[in-house]
Amino acid sequence: MTKSVHMSSSSSSSSSSPFLPPAFRFITILKFWYFSIFFLFPLKLHFFNFCLYFLNFLLLIQQFFFRFPMKLKGLRAGLLSIWLSGFLLIALSFYGTQLLSPTSLNDPFRYSGDSIATAAPRITIFTSLNVSSLEENSQALLALRSWLALSSQITVVLFTQHNNNNNNNNNNHSSDSSSFTDKFGSRLLLDSTIDFTFLGTPFLHSMMSRIEAYQSDIAVLMDPETVLLPDFISALSYAHELGRDWLLVSSSVEIPRFPFHWDETRHFWRQDNGKRVRFRELQKMISLRSLQSNSSASKMIMAWNNIDMPLHCGVLPPFLYQRGTHNQWIINEAMSCKRRFVFDATSTISSFFLGNAENIYNRSDNVSEPKTRNWEYVGNSHLGQLYGSLYSRSYTLPKLLKCNRRYIFVSASERSTDLSIPKGKSLGFRTREKISACITRTKSRSLKLDFVQKDETVPPLKFPFDLESLLPLVADKNRTVVLSVAGYSYKDMLMSWVCRLRRLKVPNFLVCALDDETYQFSILQGLPVFFDPYAPKNISFNDCHFGSKCFQRVTKVKSRTVLKILKLGYNVLLSDVDVYWFRNPLPLLQSFGPSVLAAQSDEYNTTAPINRPRRLNSGFYFARSDSPTIAAMEKVVKHAATSGLSEQPSFYDTLCGEGGAYRLGDDRCVEPETNLTVQFLDRELFPNGAYGDLWLKEDVRAECEKKHCFVLHNNWISGRLKKLERQMMKGLWEYDASMRMCV
């Protein structure tokens, strides 16, 4: 019995022994194959270790089971199934790892902020928009919702202009802004600290300067009506990992209509029948449309990292935002500067905007209007010609593509460089074949930039406004304008004066240019300017100060222009550019009532009457458009035309009488023929340049604010350069001439 048992056991062992060596050989070959694959196709280290541990675990299992007699063939079959399952798991894992790149794992295929990992970069999208234009069916609101729905890491900053011409309008604007920000929460910010033209067009250089003050990993500047799709996030996430400074540019596709709407969750697009629209369907629609029409360079997306570092070398000219040229200019200068890696991501970012065709979404009121605002485009062209190398050099951008779910860069010669692969490693042969085939067959979209030729001529800059057409545009609700007259030698002081009025939210100003240089300069600075064809010619650049022949000729332009505006039915506050404003004086000046001309006194003696002979300062006065004032101003202009002096003595001698014959008390005069009252302004509130030695104080601003001054005149000093130096040194300067921007 024992013998038979022994023989049975031996027989069983003998029948199993042929099975054992192949099993060990199978596992050994499998491990050798795996090591070979690892070196040919580099994988993540943690994935390699996992597979290696799994193979060793299989070996331990088979060694454990073969220590004991195996009487059942089913157990052997089970063990064999474990080996086969392990082999299949490794093969599937290897295939899946090759398909999925690290960035593709973060691709959101629906509009959900939760789909982006918490480590995703902070993205701030900047644009300029009038908040009042964000109606329920506006294109801008459609675009804004698409941005915020992409990720919880996105914040939107809207540069917007507050309307200060009318108190009721201002209150309405504030309520609109409040309700608008409440609707979108803390991820939407309104910023009104940038510079705008008198028509409300924002300055790009002011926007870019303000962008540097925000804290964000990535800054994006784009058109307010461009709708973004989810691949925007994955492309920026990839760029964020490049390990160097970069500038991404991408253009958008125009589509005639967009028949979809947001669902209640604001996460998905839906058709009218309620059916959800998949991301790939939208992407396909954009791709098909891109084959029929070119991408628009005007609707460009710009994104960059290290937002506190400039995009290019040099100074950004005062381009008007969304008025052409500036996109090409920035790309050209960034490529020339070589501080950043500049690339075109048009093929990897899906974005679109609605054309002029009829659709359910309304256009915003601040979009480009080529027919009526052509001069703004021409102005940008002039700036592009004056500054930088746009008209002398052009570049071809490398393109960012996505092939085999991997981002790659393709140069103009179609030679690709994959920056997502760590140094020292390479792609497998089959993967490279797939990527190469993808590049070959892909009809990728690209940025269409109309780079100008070296010999291309820019059309002349024609400003479509004159005095008559400007007045209704800039006057406040009381039909009042603030007028200043300037020549080219005082252009920087003019801009400092303008910047101060903008800071005080006084937009109802006008500029009368004495020469063509000042006229062209003012147009490019976005000022409401008109040219006086009767202004004196050959105005001296440095020798046109008080008392000079040039000064005498120039001042007479002011009274003629004021009279013309009064006859057109508008009140005028004339202010020389060397008058620094601490507060807005218009409410006080308008309180004097009709038939009163309020003027600054030029008397410096603190104990003398302020209406002494010839102490009326014609560089700061307020005149109403009424019959007595117009009649009195006609007498002043006529007197000045026959005088060999400046207009200032003509003001006093006409309105107060020679030697002060029409004086009334210590601060008034009454002209007997017109019955116009001249009110001399309190010198504590409206000091001239010699009163109280204010300009000699160490802190002029503090002294004037202590007195509650409205203005301070920078007169009683001889020479343009001395006047400029004094105002700058005392900290009463609001303009950076090197940056062409308010400070």
State the Cα–Cα distance between residues 375 and 520, nearest whole angstrom.
12
Which of 390 and 673 is assigned the larger pLDDT? 673
Instruction: Report d(CA 212, CA 206) in Å as an integer.
Output: 10
Q: Which pLDDT does position 445 carry in this prediction?
A: 64
Q: Is it the case that residue 130 has pLDDT exceeding 60? A: yes
Asked whether the whole model's pTM tops 0.85, one would answer: no
Residue 348: partners with Cβ closer than 8 Å, 6 or more residues away: 231, 235, 250, 400, 401, 402, 407
Mean pLDDT, the chain, as a whole number? 79
What tokens appear for 77 in the block?
């079959």
For the residues 38-50, what does the mean pLDDT come to? 46
Sequence length of the chain is: 743
Q: Which two tokens stand for residue 445?
A: 């979209």
Q: State the residue for tokens 């204010």.
A: 694
CA–CA separation, 301 and 123 (whole Å): 13
Per-residue pLDDT, 106: 35
How confident is residue 643, by pLDDT bands cut at 50, 70 and 90? Answer: confident
CA distance 616 to 58: 105
Identify the CA nearest to 31 among candidates 94, 80, 87: 87
**Cα–Cα distance, 54 to 82 (Å, whole number):** 11
With a cut of 50, say whether residue 9 has pLDDT above it. Answer: no
**Cα–Cα distance, 403 to 357 (Å, whole number):** 34
Q: Looking at the predicted structure, is the pLDDT value of residue 679 above 60?
A: yes
pLDDT category of residue 296 using cuts at 50, 70 and 90: low
Q: Measuring CA to CA, which residue among 491, 543, 495, 490 is closest to residue 719? A: 543
Tell me what the mean pLDDT of segment 316-341 comes to: 93
Band (61; pLDDT cuts 50, 70, 90): low
First-to-last alpha carbon distance for the chain, in angstroms, is 109
Residue 164 · residue 507 · CB < 8 Å: yes
pLDDT at 542 over 60: no
Confidence of residue 28 (pLDDT cuts 50, 70, 90): low
* φ, ψ of residue 361 in degrees (nearest 5): -110, 135
**Does residue 288 have a pLDDT over 60?**
yes
| pLDDT at residue 297 in the model | 61
- In which residue are the tokens 């300017």 written? 529
pLDDT tens figures, 401-455: 888 778 888 875 555 455 444 444 556 667 677 777 777 665 556 666 655 555 5
Mean pLDDT of 149-158: 93
Q: What is the pLDDT of residues 578-615, one digit of tens each?
A: 999 999 999 999 999 999 999 999 999 999 999 999 99
Mean pLDDT over 550-579 rounds to 89
φ and ψ at residue 238, rounded to 5 degrees: -65, -45
Mean pLDDT of 675-691: 97
Determine the pLDDT at residue 39.
45
Chain position carrying tokens 């073969």: 66
pLDDT more than 70, % of the chain: 66
Q: Are 165 and 507 in contact (CB under 8 A)?
A: yes
Report which DSSP code applies to 599: E
Whether residue 632 has pLDDT greater than 90: yes
127 against 369, higher pLDDT: 127
Percent of the chain with pLDDT over 90: 48
Compute the average pLDDT of residues 665-680. Answer: 97
Q: Does 481 have pLDDT greater than 90?
A: yes
- Which SS3 state, helix, strand or coil, does residue 190 take? strand
The predicted structure's pLDDT at residue 629: 98
Q: Residue 266 — pLDDT band, cuts 50, 70, 90?
A: low
pLDDT at res. 5? 35
Is it the case that residue 635 has pLDDT exceeding 80? Answer: yes
| pLDDT band at residue 50 using 50, 70 and 90 as cut-offs | low
Strands in 261-262's sheet, in edge-to-edge order, are 261-262, 269-270, 276-277
Token pair belonging to 46: 């943690």
Could you tell me whether strands 351-354 and 406-410 are parallel, antiparallel, or unpaired per DSSP bridges? unpaired
Mean pLDDT of 495-503: 97
Q: What is the CA 263 to chain-centroid distance, rounded?
A: 30
Asked whether residue 102 carries a pLDDT value surpassing 80, the answer given is: no
Least confident of 46-60, 228-242, 407-421, 647-661: 46-60
Q: Which of 75-79, 80-84, 346-350 has the highest mean pLDDT?
A: 346-350
Rg of the chain, C-alpha, whole Å: 38
Q: Is the pLDDT of residue 575 over 70?
A: yes
Query: What CATH number does the domain located at 469-731 have?
Result: 3.90.550.10
Nearest to 602 by CA among 592, 591, 613: 613
Where helices occur in 151-222 by DSSP H, the ranges are 167-184, 204-211
The domain defined by 123-162+177-356+371-418+429-441 carries CATH number 3.60.90: no
Domain spans of the chain? 123-162+177-356+371-418+429-441, 469-731
pLDDT tens digit sequence for 105-126: 333 322 333 333 446 899 999 9
What are the tokens at 582?
A: 């601490």
Give whichever of 382-396, 630-644, 661-675 has the largest mean pLDDT: 661-675
Task: Write down the pLDDT at residue 367.
Answer: 41
Pairing of strands 261-262, 246-255: unpaired
pLDDT at 548: 56
Phi, psi of 62 (to 5 degrees): -70, -35
Predicted pLDDT at 208? 95
